[in-house]
Chain A
């Protein structure tokens, strides 16, 4: 039974497609937040252009006991265990708060919606969330607002009109600056450096690179970024790219690893080339990923935000909203030990990134 030319061409076509897709596998793009719909001015004192959500006829909660429920993307991972830790700390400091984190064990939006729905039925005062999907989560959050429940996001936002405030863990600008400062502190102001990014089209990484370049060119004009190579979230590729950088640009004094895969991959290449201490590796990743390299001293510091502080700030924001101390249009939030946090529109900024190093890395497990 001979295959017909047709089936052969067909299978050939299919395969070519697969292979081509391989060559240009696009990175999973970040979910674009849908444009927020203009909110009908429910309350007269709203600042012009305010797009964030407003709870409908919330009861007066000033100084009263608050029931706060936190629904992160999932539970059972170190990262959200850390945000919970910060929330518990804040709840204890503030007192008069009944706080609990409860969420699915997998990062699934359908399940997350169920949890939130249950809390609405129970009639809690505040829902905190880190969304698995900014668009899909919006209806259930709006339902909460409609019933007078306060809604505050952190870590991963929803559509702006589906929550009141969002605690933003790090701005692109702050991360870009922290990375450059960290590098300069290790290699000096006059040096050749290279970047290993995730994929060349990754939106977050490209924004960070943009901010890094902007900051470096104004403050450290002699810091020369010689090349930017992709690693496609593949450890092996990040490793290989760093090997090639060290050989092609023998004067390179530092390598940036801009993802939780690129950073350890780059660090491993420097380590296995025996160049720890000669070539600095700086980047963004989680403490767990980088712990072996930080312990060995091949990596001096890891730039990220502190999820404990992130959770802490979210609970302070919730209390302030309930007490009427945080209103649309405000520009600062007093957040306990974190001091005054800046507010940009409806986003509360956590401030400069956190630097993990040999001394503090063991306090974190994520």
Chain B
């Protein structure tokens, strides 16, 4: 079964330039950085580039999980609410004197638990993922408002601010982002179970006949996604002096956009974690570049929306050629 899955993606690889969306996005990032730096040299300062990377880190970590979910042929639009819930859990525990590592682990575990509920409903109750996670989105958001009453979490202990610190001169969120991308990337490319995600997303029935249980794959990707959103929540929460009570509103769209722009096909079966990282970076870069170039912020959303439409269009064209 692993070999079949392997062949499936091998076929995708050979589809020429269009299939190499990661390369296109990487090139776009380089060109854009170069051009904007010509117009405003401050853009190319170490501080600015690090700021962009740090601002992208929590999106990219969640985008790695989202990549698995989307490749398997599903979607998770509850990640924004999940981020808010996990960030609140980490903050509340830390404020009440729980040792910081345990508070962080609890946030990650909570994400995994919510992911497991999503996964079970999709895999075993066979409810479409968009419906399950839409429901979860509202349930968690409502619960969050009820519990926090709109109050931000403040007076956090100094050790809580993991994301404000650096290791070897590089801010911690960047290390986490790199580690997650490499680990999840390697897993999806080489591990049997990682290959199975592509197989199920490409053609669930064929994968089932080849001996892969799609339900186990669905369960797995949702749990992994939950854990990674929990990790993203830790990066988010420990970045600011106080944690916003409705944190993560609209986060799902940043994450999905990042993955889609990075070449993860929303129809399932193709896409890579490195692509999702690059897609998220490109979107952040456009946001900051527009400010540096003093472009009216009214244009920003149109440009980002256009970029998403363009990549989806490319995906459709690519599929039609194959068909």
Q: Please report A residues at the B interface, Cβ cutoff 8 Å.
A: 1-3, 8, 11-12, 14-16, 18-25, 76-77, 200, 227-230, 232-236, 239-241, 243-245, 247-248, 250, 261, 264-265, 267-268, 271-272, 288-289, 291-293
Contacts and interface: CB of A to CB of B under 8 A. Distances in A.
20 contacts: A1-B205, A15-B266, A16-B309, A18-B256, A20-B308, A22-B250, A23-B304, A23-B308, A77-B150, A230-B297, A245-B291, A247-B292, A248-B42, A248-B294, A250-B42, A268-B242, A271-B241, A288-B152, A292-B154, A293-B241
Interface string B286-323: 01100110100110011011001100100010010000
B20 interface: no
B166 interface: no
A24 B305 contact: yes
- Residues of A contacting B: mostly: helix
Among B77, B246, B266, B312, residue most surrounded by chain A Cβ atoms (within 10 Å): B266
Contacts of B244: 234-235, 261
A264 B267 contact: no
B47 A247 contact: yes
Contact of B241 (A233, A248, A250, A292): A292
B247 interface: yes
Contact of B292 (A14, A241, A244, A267): A244
B180 interface: no
Given A12-B266, A239-B239, A289-B242, 13 more contacts: A16-B308, A16-B312, A20-B305, A22-B250, A22-B256, A23-B308, A227-B294, A228-B297, A236-B236, A240-B287, A247-B48, A268-B242, A292-B155
Contact of A19 (B45, B257, B294, B298): B257
Nearest to B253: A22
Nearest to B284: A240
B98 interface: no
Interface string B63-90: 0000000000001010000000000000
Contacts of B312: 12, 15-16, 19
B300 to A, nearest CB: 9
- How many interface residues does chain B have, given as a range? 35 or more
B55 interface: yes
Among A12, A23, A245, residue most surrounded by chain B Cβ atoms (within 10 Å): A23
Contacts, number: 123
Nearest to B55: A240
Contact of B291 (A229, A233, A293): A229
A288 B292 contact: no
Contacts of A288: 151-152, 154
A1 B206 CA distance: 8
B164 A272 contact: yes
B42 A19 contact: no
Interface string B150-171: 1110110000000010000000
Nearest to A20: B305
Contacts of B150: 77
Contact of B260 (A19, A267, A268, A293): A19
Contacts of B205: 1-2
Contacts of B4: none
Contact of A264 (B241, B253, B297, B309): B241
A3 B244 CA distance: 42
Contacts of A268: 240-242
A293 B132 CA distance: 40
